[in-house]
Structures are given as C-alpha cells and as structure tokens.
Structure 1
C-alpha cells in the first residue's frame, strides 16, 4: 500500500519551500506523482462605496498575489524536474476564504494532502481555510508540516495518538503506508480517555493487534498528562521516543466547540511539534 498521488500547498516563502521539500521526499519514497497547488488567496477587501482609488489598490494587490502564486508554481516545477519527480502545478484564484474550497476540490483526487500549520502559512485566515478544507471537505487525510519542515526522516518512527475514536481510527487507516514500513510504530494512549467506552480491557491492545496484522512493528505506551494538556503530553512522549511523525484524529468535537474552547487538534496545528498526519 502506498500513496500514488500527493497534493501539496505551495508558496514562495521559507515555510512553503520546506513543505515542498517534505512532499518531494515523500513522493520519492512512495514513487508518487506530486501536484502543487498555489493559492492566490488575496485578503478580502473592505468595500467602500464609490471609492475608485480603493478599487485600484485592490486590483494592484490582486496582481501582486497572482504574481507570487505563479512564481511559486514555476519554482515548484523547476525543482521537481531537477529531482526527477513527476509533477504538475495548479493555481487557484480568489480570496483567502475561498482557498479551502479550492484545496478540497483538488485533494479529492489525491491520496494525501500536504499543508502547513498555523505557524507556516502567511495569515491566520488563510491557514484556517486550508486546514478546514483539507480536513472537513476533501474526504482525505492531511499531512501538516511545521514551518521549519521535517527532520532527517519522515515516518520512520511514527506515533499513533490513540483515543479509540472514529477520527483516530480513520487517521491510523490513512497512515498505513507509513506505519507498515516504519522501523517502529508507537501507539500512545492517554489515561484521560480511559472509561469512555472506546477501549477494551487493555487500552491500545486491539489497535496494536490490528496494525500488527498489516505488518507494522508496534509498541504501546500509556501516558498520564499529569497536569499538562494532552497536546503537551503527546508532544513530550513523541520527542522522548524519537518519533518523527504523529498520527491522530482531527477535531473530534464540533468545529464551533473547538474554536471556542480549543482542543488537542487546535493546539497541535497552531505550532506542530512534529509533522502531523490528521484525518477527520
């Protein structure tokens, strides 16, 4: 099992270049076709009736954003040619709030979508639009790459953050190309989720058995946040074990509830401690 088509959000900034490098490395290891999507994503203008000057400024701004997108697309194709990776580039126009829909439309024809977290995209509205489109509207999983990119490896030692929920189950399924080829897959279960009717007598045992059936080499770890948030505890466990990827369900609560109260996913995507493979 492998990823045959990978979609990556491209941009002409350092975080965008790091994201493209991560996607290219994954495409090389999976022998996949890579599709780069540049979003024009102009900030939505504040309309002022009868303001011809403002209209001129908006037009200039639109041309500037389109220029950045075209530059990113051209640079992406040049780099992929150098690396011998089959690739194509696409440009989606429009305002920031439309970027998520454009990403979702293209992601439906890929096996995995590579995007940045909130620390790796130009503006918070654009970051949230892309995350929303990738997780909720595409029907696909998303690999979220930190602003600094990935380390020497990606997916050689993944950690599955297992809470027994439907989102976690889907994320683990979508991550199988990583999990079955990894030197070790750690299943991490937080005591916070015990007693929710999601686990058997031994939390983590059933998912470990399922993954082992696919050929994954699995180790189960139970963690106690002990006064820390679950996101902090997961990040600490991943670093302690030398993991290079965290696999987890995305937004188990409603988006409205997450936006008001926060949550594990929201904490993680704000400043990803490692690359994250998320599915909703």
Structure 2
C-alpha cells in the first residue's frame, strides 16, 4: 500500500515552500501523481459612494489575485518539473479564496492531502479544520516551524478505540510501516475501549504488527491533565516526528463553541500531523 495521488493545497507564497518540501519529496519517493490546488479569490463587489460598483477596486483586486495565482503556479511547476514527478495544476475561484473549501472535488479523489498548519494569530492559510471534517480524506498537516519531513522515524499514534482513530491508523499505514517505531498512546482506556485497561491497545498493536509495523503500547490516566497536554508531553518524551489521530468530536456545534482536542492539536502541534475522520 502506498499513496498514488497526492493533492497539495497552496494558499500563500510563505507557506508554499514548506508544503512543497514535504509533498514533492513524498511524491518522488512513492512515485505518486502530484496535484497542486489553489483557490483564487473572487473580489467582493464593493460599491462607490454614489452606489455604483467600484470597478477600479474590482480590477485591482482581480489583477493582484491573478498575480498570486501565477506566482504559486510557477513555484509548483518548477519544483515538480525539477523532481521529475507526474503532476498537474488546478486553479479554482471562490469568494473564500481557500482551496480546502472550493477544491473538495479535487481533494476527494486523492489518496492523501497535504496542507500547512494555519497561522493562529492571523488566521491566514488553509482552513485545515474544514478540510478534515469535509474532505473524507486523510490530511497531512505540515507544522509552521521546524523540520519539514516526508518520512518519519518515530510515530505517536493516539488510540481511543473509535472509528475515527481506526480510520486514521490505517490511512497512515504507509508511514507506520516505514517508521522505526510506532508508539500507541492510550489515555483513560476504561473510558475509550470495550476491553480492560490491561489489554488496552493489544488488538490494534497485533494488527499493525502483521503489517510489519514495530509497535509499543503506553497507557496513561489523564487525572487533572488535559488529553492535549498528555499527547504533547508524549510527543516530546519519545521524540516523535509524526502524530496520527482521528478527528473526533461529539458535536460540530460544541467544537465551534468550546474547541476540543482536535482543534487544539491542529493549531498547536509542533510536529507533522496525519489526521482523518
């Protein structure tokens, strides 16, 4: 099993080099077809003081947006051609200017989608949260800083026995097989599985072992700590360079109002994240 079609979301010039570092390297190693996806912003039709459409503003906005598109397209083509991978470019148009929203038809036909972690302070970049919840595909999120990798030595797999966790685990299987070690982290097992704490993780560990994955299982009680804090601590303790987890929430409305583990991890993870739902 490997990834044969990889979609890469390119929103702005600043994040594109990091995303392409990961995507081009992975496509080169796996022989995958690379699809560049960019959404060009449609200008909002502002009106002038006398009530007529501000055609000058619309024209300037359109030209700037096209300039950005051409620049990103040129960067993508250059990187892909230099690497020798099979590739194509798809330009979309939307008022949001976010390829994660307007590019779903392209994204849903890919084995894997690669996007940049969103800038928390400015809210610029790809809306990874919407991408995770609407695309139906595994998302590989490249962190804002640190090393950009396309193969991973040490993987932390957050396992809670849910269907989302199962989906993410097997979506990540090519990475898990290649990794030196995969650490399965189970938090509060009595609350997340239909088996006793002593046997927590045994079934998924055995299943992954049959694929040749080198696995270990660690079980922790959260106590007064948050799940996010425990995951972050474990990432640092084992020196993980990839986190795999399922995007789980009881309610989308609840996530919007109160946040949650999924949202926190997407916004604060210091390492690459593979997440599915």
The normalised TM-score by structure 1 is 0.88
Please tell me whether the aligned partners of residues 190 and 224 of structure 1 are also in contact (alpha carbons under 8 angstroms). Answer: yes
Of residues 151, 170, 173, the one that matches 1:173 is 170
Structure 1 gap segments, 5+ residues each: none
Partner Cα separation in structure 2 for residue 46 and residue 125 of structure 1: 22
For 1:273, the equivalent position in structure 2 comes to: 270
**Does the 8 Å CA contact 2:22/2:150 hold for their aligned counterparts?**
no
User: Under a length normalisation based on structure 2, what TM-score does the superposition of the two structures give?
Assistant: 0.89
Match of 2:191?
Answer: 195
* Cα offsets for 1:24-55 (capped at 9, x unmatched): 11112222111111121357566779644644
Contact 2:181 2:213 in 1 (8 A): yes
Asked if 2 retains the 8 angstrom alpha-carbon contact of 1:92 and 1:102, the reply is: yes
Contact 1:7 1:37 (C-alpha < 8 Å) held by counterparts: yes
Q: Which residue of 1 aligns with 2:37?
A: 37
Corresponding residue of 2:14: 14
**Would you say the 8 A contact 1:70–1:91 is kept in 2?**
no
Which of 191, 207, 216 aligns to 2:204? It is: 207
CA distance in 2, matches of 1:190, 1:40: 42
Deviation, 1:81, is: 1.0
Report what 1:104 is aligned to: 104
How large is the Cα RMSD of the aligned pairs?
2.5
- Aligned mates of 2:162, 2:23 — CA distance in 1: 28
Tell whether the 8 Å contact from 2:36 to 2:89 is kept in structure 1 after alignment: yes
Stretches of structure 2 lacking an aligned partner (at least 5 in a row): none
Matched with 1:68 is 68
Q: Is the 8 A contact 1:12 1:71 kept in 2?
A: no
The alpha-carbon deviation at position 114 of structure 1 amounts to 0.5
**Residue 129 of structure 2 aligns with which residue?**
131
Indicate how the Cα distance of structure 1 residues 135 and 198 shifts in structure 2: closer, same or farther if over 3 A, else same.
farther
Distance, in Å, in 1 between the alignment partners of 2:97 and 2:76 is 24
Partner of 2:82: 82
* Structure 2 SS opposite 1:194: helix
CA distance in structure 2 between the partners assigned to 1:8 and 1:186 by the alignment:
28
2: CA distance between counterparts of 1:73 and 1:198? 49
Mapped contact 1:37–1:73 kept (Cα < 8 A): no
> Which among 210, 224, 227 is matched to residue 227 of structure 1?
224
